[in-house]
Structures are given as C-alpha cells and as structure tokens.
Structure 1
Amino acid sequence: MSEANTAVEKQFSIQKVYTKDISFETPNSPRIFTEKWEPSVDFNLGTNVGPLENSLYEVVLTITITVKSGDSTAYLVEVNQAGIFSLSGFTEQEMSPMVGSFCPNILFPYAREVISDLVAKGGFPQLLLAPVNFDALYAQHLQKVQQQAPGSGAIN
C-alpha cells in the first residue's frame, strides 16, 4: 500500500452549538440608572474541553464581564457558550490547538451575541466585544505551561 492509502483522513465538523449557562445580575439597580454613566469593564475568558463518546468533544467557552460605574457594580454577565465538535484523524499535537483555539474561535461570535443581547435587555448601553485572537491566547498558554514544567515534553 502506498503512504497515501494508509493516511487517516482528518475530519472536523460542528455537531451542536448551544448556550450552556447564562447569568446576568444588576446588583445596584435601579439606583445605578440614575447615576452618571462612567463604565469600567473587567473581562475574563476561559475554556474547558471534555471528551464525549467516540470522536466527539464538548468545548465550553466561559466569558465573565463585570462592569462598574464609579465604585458601583452596574452589572455582571457570565455566559458559558458550548459546542460539540467531531474531530477524527488528528494527531495528539494537532488536537490540542483544535480544541484550545480553533473551536473557541467558532464559539466566540455566539457568546458575543448573547452578551450583547443580555446587556441591552438589562437596560444598559450595548456592549460590543472586540474580536479575540485565540491563536495568540493558546500560544501564551503553551508558553506558560512550558515555563511551569520545563522539560516536560509540552507541545511546541
């Protein structure tokens, strides 16, 4: 057999995209609506990957945003945007960036839309999140892992 015939074909597909969890809090309403609007935004992002059956993986992108106006918390929004992805034929070295960067990049626009809608429905000015470079975040994560465990054989 030729090498081309024995190579495993790489396959990727999106099985499902869904919002796993949503939280929106306005701890200082209605008072916050009567104060001068001077927002400061704290943005936190995280991902979690869990294998399912066969070649299926659940990737969950968690975005937490706390907006304060002056010393008061205006609102806190947290969205867990999830997806089920089918990945087969990828090596271990290829799988890590697929679930650590590629899949979160697919989920982010969905989470951004949910957050924008929640904030507007909460009575606040629209919040438009800037795009996120998941490739750069993934590279930073790998660098951090390598610094914490030098010589551990982490993926380059």
Structure 2
Amino acid sequence: MLNKKNNITNDEVTFQIHKIYVKDLSFESPNSPNVFKENWNPKISCDLNNIFDKLEKNLFDVTLRVIVKVHINLKLIFLCEVHQSGIFYIQGMSKKKLLYCLGVYCPNILFPYSRECISNLTSKGGFPQLNLEPVNFDSMFNKNNIKK
C-alpha cells in the first residue's frame, strides 16, 4: 500500500541512528596507588546487558551496559562501568524483527563506542589499556530468547 504523503510503501523498512551518547560512566580504583606494586596477572570479568525503551512511535533508546571488573588474587584493581546509548528510528519491522534489531543490531553499533571508552578509562587510570574482545550479540540474543 502506498502512502502518498511520504511516498513510501508500508512494507519499507527504515533504520536511522539519531544520536549516540554516553548515559553513565564510572571508573573506580579503590586500592590505588598500592595496586601499582602488584604483579600484573589480572583476572578480568565482563558483564554485558542491553535494555531499550520506546520513546515514541518508531523511536527507541537502546542502552548497552558494560561492567568490567579486574582483580589480582581477590583484590579489586579497578571497576569500569559504561552505559553507552543510542536513539534509533526504526519503522516497518514485524515485532519479531524489531526485537532482534533492538537486541542485536543496535548493540553491535554501540559496542565499539563502549570498548573505546573502557580502553581510554583504563589507560587514564594508570593501567595497561584494556581492549575488550568482540561480542557475538546474535548468539547472546538467541540464547536468551530460546522458546521453552
């Protein structure tokens, strides 16, 4: 069906990035400066979480939350938390495809910004630059959305 006002068909899919921004940012190194004396053999854990809110029709705010904790032995060396967000305009998708887009495609767009932010924060905190491994959001999405 043709919409004469916009000259697009209702079957057309539209995806636009309206804004990429940092919603929340935190870096803590509670045991500095003494941690700089430690032998650098860290245990690194990374927790990822993706949430989204519908702002208005076809407009969504997606946030990728990344929390990195680095320990040596049981001592917390540093904790870095980044909430990287984006506002996306998405039109013409079925509910299933929209959920996939919000849970996979948008986080894939946001992740490089999060990775860069964490890398910069760790080096500014006096630690070796931390480069997070790539993430398979498709696999995570499918694992979390298995029909029971």
For normalisation by structure 1, the TM-score amounts to: 0.88
1:90–1:36 distance in 2 versus 1, CA, 3 Å: same
Q: Write out aligned runs for 1:109-124 (5 A).
A: 109-124=112-127
**Counterpart residue number, 2:5:** none
Q: Hey, what does 1:75 align to over in structure 2?
A: 78
Distance in 1 (CA, whole Å) between partners of 2:126 and 2:27 is: 12
What's the CA shift for 1:38?
Answer: 1.4
Report the structure, 1 or 2, having the larger helix content: 1
Aligned length: 143
Correspondent of 1:103 among 98, 106, 130? 106
> Structure 2: any 5+ residue segments left out of the alignment?
3-7
Residue 42 of structure 1 is matched in structure 2 by 45
Q: Which has the higher strand share?
A: 2
Q: Which amino acid aligns with 1:97?
A: Y
Q: Deviations over 1:130-151 (max 9, x none)?
A: 11011111010111xx23xxxx
User: Distance between the aligned counterparts of 1:36 and 1:90, measured in 2?
Assistant: 52
Task: Tell me the equivalent position of 2:92.
Answer: 89
Once residues 38 and 6 of structure 1 are traced to their aligned partners in structure 2, the CA distance between those partners, rounded to angstroms, is 57
Using the alignment, how far apart are the partners of 2:68 and 2:43 within structure 1?
A: 10
The one of 8, 12, 18 aligned to 2:11? 8
Give 2:56's aligned amino acid: E
Identity value in percent: 43
- Where does residue 129 of structure 2 map in the other structure? 126
TM-score (norm 2): 0.92
